[in-house]
Amino acid sequence: MIDLDRFKNINDTLGHTIGGDQLLREVAELLNTSLNPCDTLSNTNGEIDLNSCDTIARIGGDEFVVVLNGVDEIQASKKANDLLQKLSTPLFVEGYEIYTSLSIGISIFPSDGQTAETLLKNADIAMYQVKAQGRNSFRFFSPPDMNKRSIKRLEMENNLRYAIERGELFLEYQPQVNVQNRQLFGGSNRSSDGSSRSWVSSDLTSL
C-alpha cells in the first residue's frame, strides 16, 4: 500500500483539477516505470488477481497498490527503497517544483494473509504506522502489535468524532516550568472532551 504524503496540502495549493490530478499522473507514471516489463498500470474496479503479472493500481484518492509476484522481504525492501529514492527528487507540476514523498506499507503472502482483502488491510495498517512515525519510509506488517495500535487509532477517531458532534471538545494549555529556578520556559497544549479522555498534539497528527 502506497500513500502520497501531504497530498491534501498540494491539492489545496495548486487546485484539484489541475495541480492535484497532474501530480497523481506524474507519480503513477513514475511508479509504473519502476516495475518489470510485464507489469501493467490499471484502475481497479474489481479484485486484484494475485496470479497475474505484477500490477500497480490507484485505488482511490492518493493511494496506490503495487502487487509484486514471487518476491521475498529482501526484494520487497529493495523495491520500496527504489520508489522512495525516485521520489526524493522534485516533480514539476504546472511550473511548480514539487517535493513529495511516499509512505509504504508492505504485507507478504501468505504469512500476512491469504486473500487480497486481508493483504490490503494489513498493508494499510503498516502504511499508517509509517505516517505516524514521520512518513517517507516503508514498513512491513508486524502482528499483533500493529493490530493493537490500529484498534487504538480507530477508537481515538470515534471518540474525537463524537466529541466534535456534541461540542464537547476544548483546548487546554499546560505551562512548562523549570523546577530549578521556577521560571516559565514554554508550554504544551492538549485537547480534551471534559472526561478522562484527552489527546496531546502528537496523538492528533497521526490521524
d(CA 28, CA 160): 34
Domain shared by 181 and 80, yes or no: no
Structure-block grid coordinates of residue 11 = 491539492
Number of domains in the chain: 2
158 and 138 in a single domain? The answer is: no
Domain that holds residue 136: 2-143
Do 72 and 40 lie in one domain? The reply is: yes
Shared domain for 7 and 34, answered yes or no, is yes
| Domain-located, residue 148 | no
Which among 62, 112, 124, 193 is annotated as catalytic?
62
Q: Is 82 a catalytic residue?
A: no
pLDDT in tens, 57-85: 898 889 999 988 888 899 999 999 999 99
- pLDDT 10s digits, 141-170: 987 665 566 666 666 776 777 677 777 666
Q: In this structure, how many other beta carbons lie within 10 angstroms of the beta carbon of residue 82?
A: 10
- pTM for this predicted structure: 0.64
Domain boundary among 100, 120, 143: 143
Would you say 176 and 183 are in contact if contact means Cβ atoms under 8 Å apart? no
- Does one domain contain both 31 and 85? yes
